[in-house]
Structure 1
Amino acid sequence: MTAAPGRRRDALRPFARTRLYEQLVERLLDHIHTEGLKVGDRLPPERELAAQLAVSRATVSQALVALEVQGVIDVRHGDGAVIRDIPAERQVLAALHARRHRLREVIEAREALEVKLAGLAAKRRTDHDLAAIDAALDGMSRDIEGGGRGVAGDEQFHAAVTAAAHSGLLARLMAEISELIRESRVESLSQPGRPRESLDAHRKVADAIRDGDSAGAGAAMAAHIEAVSDVALLRDE
């Protein structure tokens, strides 16, 4: 593919030293423009990117997740990273910096809302609610077994718990931050081993709800949110 006029052809040159993942995001965006890639095109596989950039696959994965959350790419199991949009580089980098601060607030909101919702669900759930929770767990399990991250099943599970609480106001508050929660969900479930850990935590929450154990359901949800809040974006680098 012919490079666009006036652009560098060394966009995927190795780093001279270890850098933050935001700089890798910048390099990948530069690569997209340099190579004249369009919506629907694929980025090179993670292994190839890691080799060309002389960084770990974990670092590449983190950068791809950042681009996925911003809507630049769609990471599909078996297909790799497919370009969805090509925004201005400055726009993406500014959004990444803002997301770090926003993510902390989203986690705080989840702790306040979802722990209460789990406790209420244990008191108010119906047989229909339990069936919806079990369906979400089954769907997430199948996705993970197939090599996926379980994002849709994770979202379905938390929605089912929210519905089982039968609190209209809390449900509306959750809906208000649903898109922000999705960002944190994608970030979390992209961590190595996290999908199975989250599935196990979901099952503990579900068991407590089924048993009518309000305190246990709240405690299990609190432990789950604390665990999934451990994401690379918020760690010291």
Structure 2
Amino acid sequence: MSDALRPMSRPRLYEQVIDRLRKYVAEERLGAGDKLPAERELAQRLGVSRTSVKQAIVVLQVQGLVEARHGGGTYLVGDTLDAEPVEQLVERRKRLPDVLDAREAVETKLAELAAQRRTKADLDAISAAVDHMRAEIAEGAHGVDGDRRFHAAVTEAAHSAILAEFMNSMAEQITESRTESLRQPGRPSRSLNQHVAILDAISLGDGRRAASAMRRHLRTVAKVRLLSWNPEEGDEGAAGGDARE
């Protein structure tokens, strides 16, 4: 059968809820720290179930656009709800585990080699990256650029052209995993502390300790809400109807 006649997809109901919330935030000129209406109120005003509203909120949380406080409502993190299209989010969710596996395998070895081969200039570069990330976090940012510099400096310190080339080939996917990890609540400061532990091990020339510290760090990086999100969960719209409460 021609691919042109494959079944047509339609927007999930929670995607429509997200779009309505985006327009609401823009029209009401809400900004970072402002509270969204309660889920029950949103469900009533939109004419959908609370399940669809909850799923929309989860997607916005996964993207770091809102913060849901237990028993305290949902608050904007920034000034907009310009969410990434759900299909793109689904694709990232599919490829992220492979990226994280590759990072652990390669960067653990890079940390070990860096401890064995680093020069004073290498140590200075890794230390400067840690300082840069610390300054970013102090200013309220996630420390993304400092994190990028840190891992690039460790790669450089390993003095392995082949492994560096492999890391470069994964640059786009690594950037995705970095951004995903650092927007988890409390993650920037935790990652910074782990970077310090890796730097200390490399400074001491302890390859085994450096590899272990990098492995612990990358397993923390792998703990992201995106991987626990089920894009089909609670989507009454995909089944052909919405059971209102």
TM-score, normalised by the number of residues in structure 1: 0.70
Asked whether the 8 Å contact 1:46–1:60 carries over to 2, the reply is no
The residue number in structure 2 matching 1:8 is: none
| Residue in structure 1 matching 2:122, options 122, 129, 138 | 129
1:55 Cα shift?
5.8
CA change 1:61–1:206 in 2 (3 A) is farther
**1:232 maps to 2:215:** no
**1:195 maps to 2:188:** yes
Distance 2:139 2:202 in 1: 27
The residue number in structure 2 matching 1:45 is: 32
The residue number in structure 1 matching 2:64 is: 65
The residue number in structure 2 matching 1:70 is: none
Asked whether the 8 Å contact 1:43–1:80 carries over to 2, the reply is no
Residue identity in the other structure for 1:223: R
Asked whether the 8 Å contact 1:25–1:64 carries over to 2, the reply is no
What does the per-residue CA deviation read over 1:145-192, in whole Å, with 9 as the maximum and x for residues that have no partner?
A: 121111111111001100100111111111111111111111111111
| Residue in structure 1 matching 2:132, options 106, 130, 139 | 139
Residue identity in the other structure for 1:116: K
The residue number in structure 2 matching 1:170 is: 163
CA change 1:25–1:219 in 2 (3 A) is farther
**1:220 maps to 2:213:** yes
1:60 Cα shift?
6.9
- SS of 1:138's partner is helix
Residue identity in the other structure for 1:111: E
1:96 Cα shift?
1.3
CA change 1:133–1:55 in 2 (3 A) is same
Q: Work out the percentage of aligned pairs sharing the same amino acid.
A: 44
CA change 1:50–1:135 in 2 (3 A) is farther
Asked whether the 8 Å contact 1:45–1:81 carries over to 2, the reply is yes
The answer for unaligned runs of 5 or more in structure 1 is 1-21, 67-78
1:27 Cα shift?
3.4
Q: Count the aligned residue pairs.
A: 196
The residue number in structure 1 matching 2:78 is: 80
Distance 2:181 2:127 in 1: 22
CA change 1:62–1:124 in 2 (3 A) is same
CA change 1:98–1:64 in 2 (3 A) is closer
The residue number in structure 1 matching 2:5 is: none
1:113 Cα shift?
0.7
The residue number in structure 2 matching 1:159 is: 152
CA change 1:83–1:59 in 2 (3 A) is closer
CA change 1:24–1:159 in 2 (3 A) is farther
Distance 1:118 1:129 in 2: 12
Rg comparison, structure with higher value: 2
Residue identity in the other structure for 1:142: A
CA change 1:218–1:25 in 2 (3 A) is farther
Asked whether the 8 Å contact 1:46–1:61 carries over to 2, the reply is no
Where has structure 1 moved over 2 Å in runs of 4 or more?
A: 22-32, 42-56, 58-66, 79-84
Of 220-229 and 45-54, deviating more is: 45-54
1:98 Cα shift?
1.2
